[in-house]
Structures are given as structure tokens and as C-alpha cells.
Structure 1
Amino acid sequence: MLMLTSVLTTGALALTACGSRDDTGAGDGSSGDTTLTIGVDAPLSGENSATGLGIRGGVKIAVDDANEKKLVPGVKFELKALDDKAQPATGQQNATALVGDKSVVGVVGPLNSGVARSMQQVFASANLVQISPSNTDPELTQGKNWQSGDKKRPYATYFRTATTDVIQGGFAADYAFNTLKKKKVYVVDDKQAYGAGLAKIFREDFQEAGGTVVGTDSINTGDKDFAALITKIEDAEPDLVYYGGQYDESQLITKQLKEAGAKIPLFGGDGMFSPTYIETAGATAEGDLATSVGVPVDTLPAARTFIETYQAKGYKGDYGTYGGYSYDAASAIINAVKAVKEANDGKLPSGDDLREQVVEAVGKSDFEGITGKVSFDEYGDTGNKQLTVYQVEQGTWEAVKTGTHNG
């Protein structure tokens, strides 16, 4: 997840600013002989929508940049964004719709790992490349038996620019035990593919490091009242609560936990890492922690231009989570189209041949994106394994440690 520390400090993440806005249309570059579409699937309304809108905005800027700079001569790129509402069934319907649009050469998304599971087969059957900027479930790229070491890539059309929970969960567990010196943790998850998977990896790695898990529980997405959970946590007397899930629920859990008098920090993954979390939890978020993929934005000069553009356009959504990774995912698709065109004597293959060759070209990606080096391994996983721990300090997420972890 791309962290926008300098922007958060100024409070500029209230992205409902006035001004000219074009959230869903095509880029403004010169018209070419051929129009190709970059699809986006993300929650654009309801649960997780602030993050989903940030994904759409990141792709929109990449599309506009490609058109303005004429990165692929003779080609104009357009954006087609569909709302999955964080629901697997809706995501599958969207995947079918995107496959059916013959102008679509690649798709960025979805946000949620559970939604991705419902879409992978649809895209694979049509040889349509899919790059998620946020999915972290290891099973999506390494198969159901990845934990036993039997890694098999399920779908050659699926890639991601975010690193996996194997690395993120272990990184968090190591930080909690060895740096924070926490010995007793209570682990909670939201029963979803992402949240439950991340919580499981954290729990196992924390115990392996020597820590004690004093209790576990699960909640449902959409829950608002966590009184029963908080009572269980208080009775277990942990010195840390780890949560696997999104900010929608965790921001309420920490608020209700602290208001009940339990001064226990909440630690979560990139799904919790959002300015919305702090805005909702208020002062009760102080001291809470989250891991995120990548390094802080102040070490990535290219990301500053992206931030400035996003703000100037007035796009909605939280671009501080996956906006940069969405931009790089879209760029990988655009660069692949360019490579295919050049390899075919300046002509684009037709129909299914184009999609198939774009998949192959994406797999060979090797360029500097705004979040760092963009490349993929034999499973479709990102080559960028850097992570950062952030902590809420005086109302903003501040980076406290950047590194990697051998999952």
C-alpha cells in the first residue's frame, strides 16, 4: 500500500474537493486509429468504497498519462470502471462483462481477495490479463497447497503489484514480538479470504517467535456493535490486539475498545491502513499500527507527481492506499500493449491474439513504476517485497520501520 505521509500531514486526503472532475471517462490524449480499454473492478460504493475509488483514480491517471504522452502511437486508451460492491458474485458478473467487451485488453482489480477468487477463471478462459493492486491472499498465485510447499500457479492471466500475506503477516508478527516486545496477543478476523488468511499467518508466526495467543475470534463484515468481542478481549488481558480485515470494522473496534477503558493498541494489515480509519476512530486511534506494502512516499519522487495530479483533478477516494499500485498495474498493461505492437512490426494483433500476447508481455514487465520496480515472478507475484509498519502519531500514519521478511 502506498503511504502518503506528507499529504496526510496536511489533511489533504478529504478527497471531495470541488473543481473539474472526470472520474470515469477516457483520457484526454490525442485520438488514435485504435481505441483500447483498460477495465477496473473495485468497490465504488458501500463497504471499502473509499479505497476502491482510489484504485479507479490511479488507473485513470495512468490512462491519461499514456494518451497525453502517446506512449503507444496510434492507440488511445479508455477507462471502463465497474462497481463490485466488495461482493464476489458481483465481481464475477463484472468479469464476464469485461471479457465480453472486445476493446478491453486488461483489467486492474479487484480490491478484495475473496472477489478475486470469483473472477480468475472468467479472465483465464478469455486470456484476459488481470492485475490486482491490493490482493494479498497467497492462494491466488500459488494455489491451495502453497503452505505445504507445493506451489502451483492456478491462472497464468493473474498478476498483482501488492506483496502477499506470507510476507506481510510475518513482518507484522516479527515487529510485534521483537520490536514492540508484546508477549500476549488477541487475534480477530472478519472471516473473509484476506482477513482470515492474514490473521492466521500473523498468529502462527507470532507463536513461533515465542509469543502467546490468549484468544481468537471472528466478526462479520458490516458489524457495528463489538461489545461482546471487547468483553472477551478485556477478560483475556492481552497487550496487543491483531485484526485481519478492512478499516470499516477495525476503526469501530478500536474506538469501542478504548472507550471501554482498555488501552490496548490495535495492529492490522494494509486493509486497515487508511486515513478513513483515523478520521472515524479519532483520538482513540492514537498508537495503533498497520503494515503496508512498499516504502514511504517521501522516498519515491515519482509518486509526488501522481499525488499532485490526483489532487488537481479532484478525484474521489483514498489514493493513499492502493492508488500508486493501481497506476503501476495499469502501466504494466499499457507497456505490454506497446511491446506487442512493436513486436508485430507496428501493428496490433486482432481479438484474442492481442489479449494472449498482452498476458505474455505483462509477465515480462521490468520497469520503474511510481511505487518502485515493477516485475513479476513465475507465480505472477510482484518482485517488490518491501513493507512498512506505520503507527498513528498525533492523528496521522507515520512510518516507523521499513524492510522485508522471508515468508
Structure 2
Amino acid sequence: MPPDRDALAGLFQVRIRFRLNGHSKLPYIGRRSGVRVNFPGLLRAERRTRETNRFRPTEPKAAPAPEARPILSMPVFPAPLRLDRFSVNCIQYIFLAINHRAPRLAEFRGLFLSVQVQDVTLALRAKRREPEKREGLTMLKRTVWAISTVLAMGLLLGGQAKAQTYKLYVNLPLSGPWSSFGEGMFNSFKLAVDQGNASGVMGKVKLEVVRGDNAGDSAQAASLATKAGADSRVIGAFCCWSSGLALATHAIYNRYGLPTILGGSNDHRSTRPFHKSMVIFRNSPYDLINMKMLATYATNYAKLKRIFTIDDNTAFSVTQVNEFTNAAVKLHGKGRIIGRESVQLGEKDFTPLITKLKGMKPDAVFYAGHMVEAALFRQQMLKLGLNVPMMSSGGVFSNTYIKVAGKASEGTLASFWGLPLDHYPEGRGTAFEKAYAAAKFQDPYESFGPMAHAAGQVYVQAVARLAKAGKVTRKALLAELNQGQYKTSIGDFGFDKHGMLDILHIGIFRVENAKWKLLYRTDRAATKFQKIAD
């Protein structure tokens, strides 16, 4: 039973001032700010401007300001207050200081305050004490010094919070040459989160997507990862598209214990067990699997015997060529790979290299680079008379490549860790496509959109389970991702002990009539091919 409010009326007030030097992790709130909290059966707060300042006695006095109007009036009992964890910690500190000084304050003239915290629910309780008779002591004027912030007190006085909001931090190339991939991935991921918020499946919990643009730069990606990790309201991240960006960030995410789903990084070194970052998960297979299947197609199905390989000196490209070569040599010996060259991102004139290749008479060229340079290379191949197939993978598999390369894109082959939308189960892929169109995003979802949407769905379902259990934290989310099963637009899957999804869709595509046509697809475990079309 709550105490009788009439018995509490007028018994005491606690005046809380703020130390000017503050706490090292709390913001400076101003020289003359103060908060007075009265407990006359109602919790009433008034912000006041103080005339004097004990911490700066040499400062000239200012004229007294008029009394401010109350900013809130609400019952203390019986309802608890719903607060975020940071505010709860601050308020706990306040009342710890109050109770610590209670013996010197004669138990606040008969009352003793305590604070009880369960998860992020804070409740104030009052107990009657026998007052001490001390002549000349007016307990209403006793001052308790404590450290806090206006924000924390504002939340304390703000009553019942409507919802708990947590953040998911996106770290993608939203500007620069790879922005067509990044924007489509961001929109698709946000679509899944918006759908989850609208459905109410997470109860009173809401997820907010934070837009982080790394512009395709590793240093900027690392900075965004640090910012995400340092924000206590961020419980998960979605990163990075490029392998180089993933390699630059996974240790940072691990240091902060921030669960992270990779949205396209193909380099196996960005994944367990090739590093110790236990917070990293993948929703697509890495190069050791993808390049093995491309080499299998090229040598066993397409019967190519003389393949020349090209990388663009990025982490993604170099490892792609390395693993493709290793797989081809393992299948048929060293004779299938006749040479290797490196180019640079931003390079525009490939005439010397193509002229050299014409003399080597390859059956095909494996260009393991990125979309813009690959389109230029393909155009120049045909212009200079090198009429052989060009193979590539995720850095080129894009409708934007077809637009940039134009008619020269015809016949380009690509291995990609995804399928046409109508090949996903129960019409989920086409449902995603319709929902994306209905959202009226400015940019297309591109080739990585379905996987990004699936990543958002995973977070929504995982957080829904945590919300039901009453504990939404990074640690709890990490445990859930390691053991949960999820229903997504690309199929049902969970993550294995290394953070790899247990459904591996890999397709071999060829550009025909300005569209990517699926020729072969793998089984669920990516161990063999199934022929789809000639």
C-alpha cells in the first residue's frame, strides 16, 4: 500500500543543485541552474535560477530571476516510472547520495527514500521513521548535494515513457562510386525495420535506423563503427558491402560487443573462424564458397581451358582472384589459369592490357573488380577485338553495370550469392519487391537489397523475442543471434557457430537482352549445381 498522501503533505522538500564541475561523463548544464523537488503528496519540480554560486564566489551576483512556473506535477505513488538505463543510473546516484547523508539529515523529518530498479523500471518508495527532536533544526532547508543532469531529472519528472526505442546503425557507402549498392541496401534494411515497427510484433519496443555513410572509405567506416559502439542506445549494426570496409571495422564492433550483420562483404577474413570477432554474422556466403562454385562452373560446365585473371588491388578483388585460382588449380591443375594482372580503382584506359591479352588468346577473362571499371573494361575488350566471355562476381552483378556498359554487357557472366526474387520460397521475394515499390524509394533495391531486407527482418524478430523476455541488450541480442531461427524474404535460416547463415544461395548468371539470366543455382549447402537454363 502506498503511504497516505495527506500524511506526506508538507513534510519535507529536497533541493538538488548541480555541481559546476559535474561528472566526467555528464554534460555541463550551466552555472546557475537548479532543480527543486517537493514531495507534498505530489511530485512537483521547478527549475529555478539561483542568485548565488558557492563554487564560484568571485563571480559577480546577478539580479534574482522571477520564479519559473512548474514544469511538471504528477503523483509519486503508486505508478513506477519507465526510464532509459542511463537516466536510471543517474537517478540512482542521486538517491544514493541522499540516503548516504540521511543520518545527518535526521531521516528527512520522518521519511526515508529508497530507489528500486528492475530492468529499466524505477520506483520510489517512502518509509516512515521516528523523527529526531533537534532544536533549531529546520529540515525543510536541508540541502543535499548530488551529481546528475537536466536530462536525467527531466526523464524522472516526465512520467510514464510511451515506448522504448533502440537504434540499429547502418554503415554503408551511401555516396561515391558504390552508392547505387549502398542506397538500395539501406532502403531495403529500413523497409524491414519499418515493417516490424508497424506490425507491433516488438510490443512497446521500437527500432530506429541510423543512417551512416562511409562513402566507400575504410577510415570513415571505422569512424562510424566507433560512433555506433559508443552509443549505448545502439544495439546492432548493419555493415558494410565492401570487404575492405568490413575488414576495417570488425575488430571495433567486437571491442564494443555490438552485434553486426555483414551485408555483402565477401572476404572470408571478415568472418569467424578467420578472426576472433565474435559479434560478426553473415547473411551471404564468403569467397571460399563463392569462388569455388564459379571455378567449378567455368572449368567443369563451361569447359574453359585458358582463363586470364584480373584484380583491382582491393581486398575484395585480390581475395576473389586468389580463391578462384586456388579452386581452379585444385580441380584441374595449373594449366587452366594462364596469367594475372592488377589494375587500379578509377583506371579508365585498359588498352595496353587488352592488347597484351589478345596475344595470349584466352578462352575467358575473370575480372574480379568493381562495377564502373568492369563496364569500361568490357567496352574496350569488344572495341579492340577481344571477343571472349568476361566473368565477374558481386562487385559487378548489378543492373547499373548493364546500364553503364550498354550493349557491351551482353554475354557477361557473373557468380552471385543470391537468386532472382521469384526463386525465393513462398513468394517472399516478390512480396519484398512489391513492398519496396509501394514505399516509393528514390533508388532501386539493386542486387544486395533482398539480403539487406533479410538482415532487417532478423533484427526485428530477434528484438521481438528479447522484448517479450523483458531484456533488450547487446549481450542478449548476441546470444539470440547465435541460437535463433529466422523467417526472411530469402528463406528460413539461422547462424552457425561461426556466424555464417546456414542457407547458401549461389547462382551463375549471364546478361541476355539487358537482363541477368539465371543459368545455374546451387543446392542449399552450395555443394552442387542445378541447371536452370541454357
Query: Which category describes the TM-score, using the shorter chain as reference length?
Result: 0.7 to 0.9
Change in 2 beyond 3 A, CA 1:98/1:371: same
Counterpart residue number, 1:205: 327
**Partners of 1:284 and 1:192 in 2: CA distance:** 25
**Partners of 1:46 and 1:74 in 2: CA distance:** 38
Correspondence for 1:191 among 307, 310, 313: 313
- Where does 1:113-152 land on structure 2 (aligned, <5 Å)? 113-142=243-272, 151-152=273-274
**Partners of 1:230 and 1:328 in 2: CA distance:** 40
Answer whether contact 1:32 1:73 (CA < 8 A) is retained.
no
* 1:325 partner letter: M
Helix, strand or coil at the partner of 2:446: helix
Shift of 1:318: 4.1
Counterpart residue number, 1:289: 413
- Where does 1:235-274 land on structure 2 (aligned, <5 Å)? 235-274=359-398
Answer whether contact 1:274 1:318 (CA < 8 A) is retained.
no
Counterpart residue number, 2:495: 376
Correspondence for 1:317 among 443, 462, 483: 443
Answer whether contact 2:368 2:393 (CA < 8 A) is retained.
yes
CA deviation map 1:339-397 (0-9, x unaligned) = 22223xxx235xxxx11111111112312210112311111112112210010011110
User: Do residues 155 (structure 1) and 277 (structure 2) align?
Assistant: yes
Answer whether contact 2:171 2:238 (CA < 8 A) is retained.
yes
Correspondence for 1:40 among 156, 170, 191: 170
**Partners of 2:259 and 2:405 in 1: CA distance:** 38
Shift of 1:219: 1.1
User: Do residues 99 (structure 1) and 232 (structure 2) align?
Assistant: no
Counterpart residue number, 2:190: 60
CA deviation map 1:119-145 (0-9, x unaligned) = 111111111111012011111123xxx
Shift of 1:212: 1.8
Correspondence for 2:240 among 102, 106, 110: 110
**Partners of 1:155 and 1:202 in 2: CA distance:** 26
Identity of aligned residues (%): 27
Helix, strand or coil at the partner of 2:347: coil
* 1:333 partner letter: Y
Answer whether contact 1:252 1:281 (CA < 8 A) is retained.
yes
**Partners of 1:294 and 1:364 in 2: CA distance:** 24
Shift of 1:224: 1.6
User: Do residues 327 (structure 1) and 445 (structure 2) align?
Assistant: no
* Structure 1 runs not aligned, ≥5 long: 1-30, 143-150
* Structure 2 runs not aligned, ≥5 long: 1-160, 529-534
Helix, strand or coil at the partner of 2:406: helix
Shift of 1:316: 3.5
Counterpart residue number, 2:509: 390
- Where does 1:344-363 land on structure 2 (aligned, <5 Å)? 347-349=470-472, 354-363=473-482
Answer whether contact 2:266 2:286 (CA < 8 A) is retained.
yes
Answer whether contact 1:324 1:371 (CA < 8 A) is retained.
yes
Helix, strand or coil at the partner of 1:77: strand
Shift of 1:34: 0.7
Shift of 1:323: 0.9
Greater Rg, structure 1 or structure 2?
2
**Partners of 1:248 and 1:83 in 2: CA distance:** 20
* 1:50 partner letter: S
CA deviation map 1:207-258 (0-9, x unaligned) = 3322521210111112122112212221221010001122121111111111
**Partners of 2:249 and 2:301 in 1: CA distance:** 39
Answer whether contact 2:247 2:269 (CA < 8 A) is retained.
no
Change in 2 beyond 3 A, CA 1:402/1:47: same
TM-score by length of 1: 0.85
Correspondence for 2:297 among 175, 178, 181: 175
**Partners of 1:245 and 1:316 in 2: CA distance:** 27
Counterpart residue number, 1:399: 518
Answer whether contact 1:289 1:392 (CA < 8 A) is retained.
yes
Answer whether contact 2:307 2:338 (CA < 8 A) is retained.
yes
Number of matched residues?
362
CA deviation map 1:315-342 (0-9, x unaligned) = 2434231111111112222222222222
Correspondence for 1:339 among 459, 465, 468: 465
**Partners of 1:155 and 1:208 in 2: CA distance:** 30
Answer whether contact 1:186 1:213 (CA < 8 A) is retained.
yes
Answer whether contact 1:54 1:316 (CA < 8 A) is retained.
no
Shift of 1:406: 4.3
Helix, strand or coil at the partner of 1:290: strand
Greater percentage in helix = 1
* 1:278 partner letter: I
**Partners of 1:106 and 1:47 in 2: CA distance:** 26
* 2:485 partner letter: D
Shift of 1:32: 5.1
Change in 2 beyond 3 A, CA 1:307/1:32: farther
**Partners of 2:293 and 2:318 in 1: CA distance:** 16
Helix, strand or coil at the partner of 1:384: coil
**Partners of 2:247 and 2:274 in 1: CA distance:** 15
Q: Taking CA–CA contacts closer than 8 Å with sequence separation of 6 or more, which of the two structures ends up with the larger relative contact order?
A: 1
**Partners of 1:384 and 1:65 in 2: CA distance:** 23
Counterpart residue number, 2:429: 303
Answer whether contact 1:161 1:374 (CA < 8 A) is retained.
no
TM-score by length of 2: 0.66
